[in-house]
């Protein structure tokens, strides 16, 4: 799960106090083994920073983590996959080679999410829409943004949003 997906479910669109049935359904799916939620340590730290930045109450996030038994994957467990992904993108995505400096280093949170999904054979849950572009296309300008769904498509990693997760689990609201 990426940072925005976590903020969306805990605070913006599906908070427990407004969508109790949805959270109950997710908890039941976890208990039944239909789904397992994981996130990278990078994402966990980014979410914690956003809670402070936006003044969100910590208890919503803590409740999500505890209630849905979210595993926070340690940086050391996916560090090599993250390095490999960054190297792959730097070598094979032309618009990235046109960018200066530490462009990929500034994307560690987003790329950590994809790295964890690759080593855990998981699906990335994100709020990003992507541009539905082939990021290896050499005509893309250096001003192109790298979006999680586009990188997932490039790496053949499943990617979806919360509504797709709810539908997959048979949740109807």
Please tell me the predicted confidence (pLDDT) of residue 71: 96
Q: Half-sphere exposure of residue 116, counting CA atoms within 13 Å on the CB side?
A: 28
Question: What is the per-residue pLDDT across 58-95, written as a single tens digit (0 to 9) for each?
Answer: 999 999 999 999 999 999 999 999 999 998 998 888 77
Domain boundaries, the chain: 3-73+160-168, 75-159
Confidence check: pLDDT of 101 > 60 = no
**In the numeric block, which tokens belong to residue 128?**
């990003």
In our burial notation (b when 16+ CB lie closer than 10 A, e otherwise), range 16-45 reads: beeeeebbebbeebbeeeeeebbbbbbbbe
Please tell me the predicted confidence (pLDDT) of residue 37: 97
pLDDT-wise least confident of 20-34, 120-134, 149-163: 120-134
Confidence check: pLDDT of 99 > 70 = no
């Amino acid at each position: 799960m990426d940072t925005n997906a976590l903020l969306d479910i805990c605070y913006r669109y599906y908070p427990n106090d407004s969508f109790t049935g949805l959270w109950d359904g997710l908890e039941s799916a976890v208990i039944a083994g239909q789904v397992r939620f994981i996130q990278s340590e990078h994402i966990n730290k980014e979410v914690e920073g956003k809670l402070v930045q936006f003044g969100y109450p910590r208890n919503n996030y803590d409740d999500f983590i505890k209630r849905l038994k979210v595993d926070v994957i340690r940086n050391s467990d996916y560090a090599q996959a993250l390095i490999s992904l960054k190297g792959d993108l730097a070598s094979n995505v032309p618009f990235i080679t046109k960018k200066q400096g530490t462009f990929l280093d500034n994307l560690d949170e987003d790329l950590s999410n994809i790295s964890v999904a690759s080593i855990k054979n998981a699906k990335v849950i994100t709020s990003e829409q992507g541009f539905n572009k082939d990021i290896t296309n050499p005509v893309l300008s250096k001003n192109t943004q790298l979006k999680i769904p586009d990188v997932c498509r490039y790496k053949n990693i499943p990617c979806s949003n919360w509504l797709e997760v709810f539908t997959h689990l048979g949740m109807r609201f």
